[in-house]
Amino acid sequence: MTTQFDGPRLDPANGGPADRLVVLVHGYGSDGNDLIALGRHWQQLLPSAAFVAPNGPQRCDGNPAGYQWFALGAAGPNEAAMTQGVDEAAPALNDFIDAELASHSLDGSKLALVGFSQGTMMSLHVGPRRSPGPACILGYSGALIGPERLAEVPSKPPVMLIHGDADDMVPVAAMHGAVGALGDNGFTARWHVSRGVGHGIDPEGLQLGGQFVADNFAQGVVAQ
């Protein structure tokens, strides 16, 4: 079931026009209201940034109260279903990002993508395929889908991945695999393991992620 593609927003905390855009991409079964809370935490670090957390384009198969970017498949998560899912969901997310950038008169280099779980999968798929690429990609508790296809991407933005070592939904090994594949393909990829944390974000991960986004916006340079 396709739903309206929109979600909550935060205007710049300084009261001026936005000169940066942070798109927060939620996980499977969640919604934009869940991730917009990250923007509230980071507004002091990023006072001139606008934040938007779109709901996924489909009601979630496993949780009708939430949303999904793509279905996991009748047999559960598997490589083929995930690859098909990110490919099919990418155009809608790209269109949404383009419209949000245009609404603030910003180009694509003024974008940061922040994902959680399935939203990290989407961010790692969409971000490197944009030109210009985003200022950075931050991913929590997610995975890289189709690492063998990284050679075809037009941009290589800085990436930071943060993952709990007690995550029983997406094992921390997925983060290590993603970091290795990104590094092998010329990306600058940082990572942090949150000790004792499950499928979620702890205060340290929240602080490290926000600082990563702020630092890359401050540099103003995107690797292409």
Residue 1 has pLDDT above 60, yes or no: no
- Continuous segment of H or E residues that includes residue 15: none
**Residue-wise pLDDT tens digits, 37-76:** 999 999 999 999 999 999 999 998 888 889 999 988 654 5
Q: Where does the pLDDT of residue 81 fall: very low under 50, low under 70, confident under 90, or very high at 90 and above?
A: confident
Residue 87 has pLDDT above 70, yes or no: yes
SS3 percent helix, strand, coil of the chain, rounded to 5, is 40, 20, 45
Residue 109 has pLDDT above 80, yes or no: yes
Side by side, the strands of the sheet bearing 111-116 are 9-10, 49-52, 20-25, 111-116, 136-140, 159-164, 189-194
> In the CATH hierarchy, which fold is given to the domain comprising 9-219?
Rossmann fold (3.40.50)
Give the residue from 175, 139, 164 showing the smallest Cα distance to 35.
139
Query: Which of the residue ranges 18-22, 77-81, 168-172 would you say has the lowest mean pLDDT?
Result: 77-81
Question: Number of H helices and number of E strands within the chain?
Answer: 5, 9
Q: Where does the pLDDT of residue 3 fall: very low under 50, low under 70, confident under 90, or very high at 90 and above?
A: very low
How much is the pLDDT for 67? 94
How much is the pLDDT for 28? 94
Percent of the chain with pLDDT over 90: 87
Q: Where does the pLDDT of residue 79 fall: very low under 50, low under 70, confident under 90, or very high at 90 and above?
A: confident
How much is the pLDDT for 220? 66
- Enumerate the active-site residues: 117, 167, 199
C-alpha 94/C-alpha 28 separation (Å) is 18
Q: Where does the pLDDT of residue 223 fall: very low under 50, low under 70, confident under 90, or very high at 90 and above?
A: very low
**Residue-wise pLDDT tens digits, 174-211:** 999 999 999 999 999 999 999 999 999 999 999 999 99
C-alpha 118/C-alpha 108 separation (Å) is 22
